[in-house]
Amino acid sequence: MYMKLDQDNAITMEMPKDAHKIKLVRGLLGFSELREMEIVYDEGELPFMRLRETQQGPTKEEALEFFVVEPAGLIDNYSIRISEDDVEQLNISESDGTCLLNIVTIHNTGGGRVVTVNLVAPLLINKKTLKGKQVIIENFNEYSPRHLLYED
Amino acid sequence: MLVLSRKEGESIIIGSGEDEILVKIAKIEKDLVKLAIEAPRKISIFRKEVFDSVMESNKEAALRKQKGNQRLSLPKEALRAVQDKKTKNTSASFLQE
């Protein structure tokens, strides 16, 4: 469900058409208009991937992008509780049909750069229907929306 | 903003019919008020400070593609540090799908 991005930013289609496109039921929090997005990656950038606004028409330069990462193998003991309503809304029944992505922020501070990841509100995606949602986890008290990944 | 007074056990109703939301003052103890909310499934309920922190984090994370089709990139050292930490088999697992 991810699409490879080559160095020139052109797209290499290796997947079934549109398989990398996801529909976000409510957009992202603060960006409710972002209902259709695509997940693309560049091999050199893995495990980071890019979640970007599906580009429509000539406004290509304006497209919004977010770096995202799968938490598995990166965040130790990341154990989250999802509300029943969210599970039901996305029709998720088993964990292997689900993809979890966390949004990454690059902060440009005065001295250097800081990279954090939002562990409170991951994107939960049903791989079969490609329907996703940014959910606020029920155990939000246990994690930070700015979990430190890297600091200069 | 509408301000109204309620005692413990009393409620208010917002909206009507299938969009009806009921907010009940379930318990008042010192400086803590417990609310019980009944709302349709499609209505999300958030603690405002959590909602705000996520919204702010999303805004900070958003990258707008610059003119000239320039790629925005991750700091190289950060990328290397994370690649070292993330075990290879997990980062590559989805590529086989």
CA–CA gap between residue A7 and residue A69 (Å, rounded): 19
- Whether the CB-CB separation of B61 and A101 falls below 8 Å is answered with no
CA–CA gap between residue A118 and residue B61 (Å, rounded): 9
The verdict on a CB contact (< 8 Å) between B62 and A1 is no
Over the stretch A89-144, which tens digit does the pLDDT of each residue have?
888 877 668 889 999 999 877 777 889 999 999 999 998 889 999 999 999 999 99
Q: What angle do CA A9, A112, A136 make, to 5 degrees?
A: 70
Query: For chain B, what is the HEC assignment?
Result: CCCCCCCCCCEEEECCHHHCEEEEEEEEECCEEEEEEECCCCCCCCCHHHHHHHHHHHHHHCEECCHHHCCCCCCHHHHHHHHHHCCHHHHHHHHHC
The verdict on a CB contact (< 8 Å) between B58 and A69 is no
> What's residue B92's pLDDT?
45
Whether B97 has a pLDDT exceeding 60, the answer reads: no
Shortest CA gap A148–chain B (Å) = 11
Chain A neighbors of B97, CB-CB under 8 A = 1-2, 127
Whether B68 has a pLDDT exceeding 90, the answer reads: no
> B57 vs A9, A31, A69, CA distance in Å?
26, 12, 15
The verdict on a CB contact (< 8 Å) between B54 and A145 is yes
Task: Among A13-22, A69-78, A122-131, B8-17, name the one with the lowest average pLDDT.
Answer: A13-22
- Mutation choice for A interface testing from B38, B49, B57, B97 by most A CBs within 10 A: B57
Shortest CA gap A46–chain B (Å) = 7
Average predicted confidence (pLDDT) for chain B: 83
The total number of residues written for chain A in this structure: 152
pTM: 0.83
Chain B neighbors of A136, CB-CB under 8 A = 46, 50-51, 54
List residues of B whose CB lies inside 8 A of any A CB.
41, 44, 46, 50-51, 53-69, 71-75, 77-79, 81-83, 85-87, 89-95, 97
| β partners of residue A68 | A49, A103
Over the stretch B22-55, which tens digit does the pLDDT of each residue have?
999 999 999 999 999 999 877 888 899 999 999 9
> Which ipTM score applies to this complex?
0.85
CA–CA gap between residue B97 and residue B89 (Å, rounded): 13
